[in-house]
Structure formats: C-alpha cells, structure tokens
C-alpha cells in the first residue's frame, strides 16, 4: 500500500489550497482514509476522515473550513482547505483512517501499517 500526498505550498492567511493523495496497492473504494498534519515541534494530529460510504469527520479546529473527499474512480483522496490560518501550517499526510480495517490488493487485510511517506508541506503566512 502506498499513499502519496501532494499539493502543499505557501499561501497567505485566508487563502485556499487543495491537497491530493494518490493511492496504490489497495482496494481504494473499500478503505476508510484520513488526513493528518504535524506542525513544527508538535505531535501529529488527525484532521479529517472519510469512510468507504463517504461519511466524514473533522477536527474541531478545521470544521467549516476543510472538506475531505474521495474519487474512487481515480483512487485519489482530497482535502480542500479554505480560509487558511497560520496555525494550519504543517506537514500534511494521508493515511488509513484509525479504527478501520485496511485492505490491500486482493482483499488482503493489512495490520500495523506504519508508512507515513513524506507528506506535503503547507505554510500559511500571516
């Protein structure tokens, strides 16, 4: 299973960015996925999740500003970020959602998946 995030960059406060995450080696449509972020000097935090049935959850800090979505035809996960704030700065990662089984190709269940990749850096200037 590989998940590669992209789309980060430098943006002014109040601006928008759209992150993408290309998935491979998995049955994309049947897996719950998530976006995490890690600010400098801070622990990684869960930002948003989306299930196979497109149910979503958000951290309180991003509710009303961020939207997670998925395109199962393209095996791609998205995070639309609007009204960005300096505190949104960090490295953003896509990862299997916590608490859900992860299925690789051929319906093989994967345990203890711990590949975070390089993520994509989002910097919001004030």
pLDDT in tens, 86-104: 999 999 999 999 999 999 9
Whether the predicted pLDDT of 13 surpasses 90: yes
pLDDT above 70 coverage of the chain, percent: 100
Rounded CA separation 86/13 (Å)? 6
Rounded CA separation 96/103 (Å)? 10
pLDDT in tens, 101-119: 999 988 899 988 999 999 9
How much is the pLDDT for 42?
96
DSSP string, 9-51: EEEETT--EEEEEEEESB-GGGS-EEEEEE-TTS--EEEEEE-
Sign of CA dihedral 68, 69, 70, 76: negative
């Amino acid at each position: 299973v590989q998940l590669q995030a992209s789309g980060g960059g430098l943006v002014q406060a109040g601006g928008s960015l759209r992150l993408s995450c290309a998935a491979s080696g998995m049955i994309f449509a049947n897996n719950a996925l998530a976006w995490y972020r890690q600010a400098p000097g801070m622990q990684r935090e869960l930002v948003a999740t989306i299930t196979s049935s497109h149910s979503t959850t958000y951290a309180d800090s991003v509710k009303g500003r961020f939207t997670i979505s998925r395109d199962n035809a393209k095996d791609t996960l998205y995070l639309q970020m609007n009204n960005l704030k300096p505190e949104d700065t960090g490295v953003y990662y896509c990862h299997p959602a916590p608490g859900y089984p992860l299925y690789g190709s051929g319906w093989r269940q994967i345990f203890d998946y711990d590949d975070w990749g390089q993520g994509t850096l989002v910097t919001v200037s004030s």
